[in-house]
């Protein structure tokens, strides 16, 4: 199986059309159709349903398309892997969520490099939910998440304060601390669910998005390091 054929398949899947994919790949449509047919024969599965509206993925095609995200990510890593191996080091990929303090992170990386000189630390920005998928797929060795994932061992490594910005005339503006429950029913702009420790999925309806500009108060949120090993 050639990587090129998988790339052709992925392009058709993303564009939803063999003709549009042929243009993007600088191929003729009959040539691309033959490549796809050969791939389907090799895999023993029909990958597309051809309709007047284009090419739609079959269940097998959807499964392959999802798996190829991992495959292509690993292929993109080849230069990094070769560089690390040539330096007799082991690549350690670490995920970073939004909002990690730069000074804290730089200090941790320096300490890790000093303690484990044979490790080449590669940082990858991703949300907590994205990191859980990356850990599962083997695209990360360590994840730094805002919520401890139940499926992996974890340890709390950092606690951050969370601020809430309020309009000057808000009834909450005079408070020195605010609970998430106090924001119920208000229009709020906040981190995604997976980034806020005080509110988990299924804990009730989220606050509404914001209506007006703000001022401030605070709470706290932990960051947790998890490993797929």
Lowest-pLDDT range, 2-6, 123-127, 182-186? 182-186
pLDDT at 74 over 60: yes
Predicted confidence at residue 196, as pLDDT, reads: 57
Residue in the structure block whose two tokens are 């360590």: 142
**Average pLDDT of span 68-87:** 83
Distance (Å, whole) CA 40 – CA 38: 5
Q: Mean pLDDT highest for which of 65-74, 109-118, 171-180?
A: 109-118
Q: Is the pLDDT of residue 6 over 90?
A: yes
Name the strand (E) or helix (H) holding 160.
strand 154-164
- Within 10 angstroms of residue 21's Cβ, the number of other Cβ atoms is 23
**Residue 25 in this model has a pLDDT that exceeds 90:** yes
Specify the DSSP class assigned to residue 124.
E
Q: Is the pLDDT of residue 94 over 90?
A: yes
Task: Say which residues have a Cβ less than 8 Å from residue 156's Cβ, sequence separation at least 6.
Answer: 148, 222, 223, 224, 225
Taking the alpha carbons at both ends of the chain, their separation in whole angstroms is: 30
Q: In this structure, are residues 102 and 71 in contact, taking their beta carbons and an 8 Å threshold? A: no
- For the chain, what percentages of helix, strand and coil (3-state, to nearest 5) are there? 40, 20, 35
13: how many CB neighbours lie within 10 A of its CB?
A: 20
Confidence of residue 194 (pLDDT cuts 50, 70, 90): low
Question: What is the mean pLDDT of the segment spanning 209-226?
Answer: 47
| Position 69 confidence tier, pLDDT thresholds 50, 70, 90 | confident
């Amino acid at each position: 199986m050639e990587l090129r054929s998988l790339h052709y398949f992925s392009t058709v899947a993303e564009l939803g059309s063999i003709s549009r994919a042929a243009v993007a790949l600088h191929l003729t449509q009959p040539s691309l159709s033959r490549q796809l047919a050969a791939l389907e024969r090799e895999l023993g599965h029909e990958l597309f349903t051809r309709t007047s509206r284009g090419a739609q993925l079959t269940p097998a095609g959807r499964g392959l398309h999802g798996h190829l995200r991992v495959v292509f990510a690993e292929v993109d890593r080849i230069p990094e892997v070769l560089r690390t191996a040539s330096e007799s080091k082991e690549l350690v990929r670490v995920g970073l969520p939004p909002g990690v303090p730069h000074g804290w992170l730089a200090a941790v990386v320096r300490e890790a490099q000093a303690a484990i000189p044979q490790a080449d630390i590669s940082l990858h920005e991703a949300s907590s939910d994205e990191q859980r998928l990356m850990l599962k797929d083997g695209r990360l060795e360590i994840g730094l998440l805002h919520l401890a994932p139940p499926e992996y061992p974890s340890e709390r490594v950092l606690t951050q304060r969370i601020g809430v910005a309020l309009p000057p005339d808000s009834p909450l503006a005079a408070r020195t601390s605010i609970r998430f429950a106090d924001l119920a029913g208000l229009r709020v702009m906040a981190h995604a669910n997976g980034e806020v420790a005080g509110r988990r999925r299924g804990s009730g309806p989220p606050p509404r998005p914001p209506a007006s500009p703000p001022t401030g108060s605070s709470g706290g949120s932990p960051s947790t390091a998890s490993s797929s090993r």
